[in-house]
Amino acid sequence: MAPAGFLPRRWALWVVVGVVLVTAVVWMATGKETPSSDHAAATAPKPALTISVISPQSADWPRLLAANGNVVAWQEAVIGAEISNYRLTAVLVNVGDRVAKGQVLARIADDNVAADLAQSTAAVAEAEANAAEAKFNAERARQLRAAGFYSPQQTQQSLTNEQTALARLNAARARKQTDDLRMAQTQVRAPDAGIISSRTATVGSLSQPGQELFRLIRGGRLEWRAEVTAGELANLRPGMTAALATPGGGTVQGRLRMLGPTVDPATRNALVYVDLPESTLNSGLRSGTYTRGQFQLGNAPALTLPQTAVVLRDGFAYVFKLAENDKVAQTKVTIGRRLGERIEIVAGLDADSRVVASGTGFLADGDSVRVVTAAQ
């Protein structure tokens, strides 16, 4: 017979052994599967980004030729005084004023000229009276000579006096005409309609022939003198449209008027002349402004993508093509024209290629992605 207390200890031992065996069985059943599933999860590639894919689109885009150049006056007239050593008494216009042809810009003191004009006017009146008297005497001498009352010498003397009086009248009229011209020159007038671009005239200064008083932009017309290479010159024709960038961010439309006849041997560039509309001054462009513009050469087909599909790295352009197993391949492309939010792909991509539409800056070559459908 077992001693007292032995039986409960025996049962407790069997309970402990049973718990240990059950634990071992459970560990063997679950512990062997856990490492393999964790390894599979670790080795499975995770998508780097959820992306949408698109294909390039074909479009008929304008061909543009970019150029730089100065905006200058179409023609600039230099206006000066034609009479010398007289003081300016009034200056009537300032820089920026729009003037009409013949408008008075400045006045010069005319006291002395007026006195000379009055004297020459009186001289003309005297000469006209003498000429009229001489003509009457000559006509009378002709009549009396025909009647036999005048000798040939008397008749000839009357005729000579007539011609002398007429010559003196013509000389007096010429002097008066000179004084009339000098009087007109005391008013400096605009030779054509336009805009005053410069003014050096000041009240009280002495006028001198050839001295510049004003500069006038004829007709208010400006032109753009753009520089293009000799090769680009062959693509341009008079009448083509050019769009110039303005300081305010807008554009001004001009028309190509003339191609320069020569090429600079130092720069290998030629000048082309583009007429600008009268509204150019309102856009902020002024004579002397250096600006950029584009000539429209016509239309040409283009393979295009949104700009968001193209990424610039290290000075080159790339797109990400969708490859097998939902991975992307970084592909180098050559870009060309831009129009709005789209860009032309010149080389490196086929029309049936599928590329990432946006978010390309977050991708690297070989990344796995999750693809969703995108609108073109």
Predicted confidence pLDDT, tens digits, the chain (376 residues): 444 444 455 555 565 556 556 565 545 554 444 444 444 444 555 666 787 888 888 888 888 889 999 999 999 999 999 888 899 999 999 999 999 999 999 999 999 999 999 999 999 999 999 999 888 888 888 887 777 766 777 778 888 888 998 999 999 999 999 999 999 999 999 999 999 999 999 999 988 888 899 999 998 899 999 999 988 898 899 999 999 999 888 889 999 999 999 999 998 999 999 999 988 877 888 888 999 999 988 888 888 999 888 999 888 999 988 888 888 888 999 988 888 888 988 888 888 888 888 888 888 888 888 887 655 5
Question: Which residue ranges make up each domain of the chain?
Answer: 49-61+301-373, 66-74+220-299, 81-109+186-219, 111-184
Alpha-carbon span 230 to 267, nearest angstrom: 10
The token pair at 289 is 């402004």
Q: So what's the architecture of 66-74+220-299 in CATH?
A: Beta Barrel (2.40)
Alpha-carbon span 116 to 186, nearest angstrom: 13
**Do 273 and 223 touch, CB atoms closer than 8 A?**
yes
Alpha-carbon span 132 to 139, nearest angstrom: 11
What pLDDT score was predicted for residue 15? Answer: 57
Considering the entire predicted model, what is its pTM?
A: 0.62
Nearest to 218 by CA among 197, 189, 195, 188: 195
Q: So what's the architecture of 111-184 in CATH?
A: Orthogonal Bundle (1.10)
Q: Does the domain made of 49-61+301-373 have the CATH classification 2.40.420.20?
A: yes
Compute CA 352 distance to the chain's CA centroid, rounded to the nearest angstrom: 39
Alpha-carbon span 295 to 254, nearest angstrom: 9
> How is the beta sheet containing 212-218 ordered, strand by strand?
76-80, 212-218, 194-199, 98-99
Q: In 10 A of CB 351, how many CB atoms?
A: 10
What pLDDT score was predicted for residue 155? Answer: 75
Query: Are 49-61+301-373 and 66-74+220-299 in the same CATH fold?
Result: no
Element (DSSP H or E) covering residue 243: strand 241-245
Nearest to 351 by CA among 300, 306, 299, 305: 305
Compute CA 26 distance to the chain's CA centroid, rounded to the nearest angstrom: 84
Nearest to 209 by CA among 240, 183, 188: 188
Q: Count of residues for the chain?
A: 376
**Do 355 and 309 touch, CB atoms closer than 8 A?**
yes
Three-state DSSP at 28 gives: helix
CATH of domain 81-109+186-219: 2.40.50.100
The dihedral over CA atoms of 104, 106, 112, 113, expressed in degrees to the nearest 10, equals -30
Alpha-carbon span 74 to 234, nearest angstrom: 24
What pLDDT score was predicted for residue 1? Answer: 43
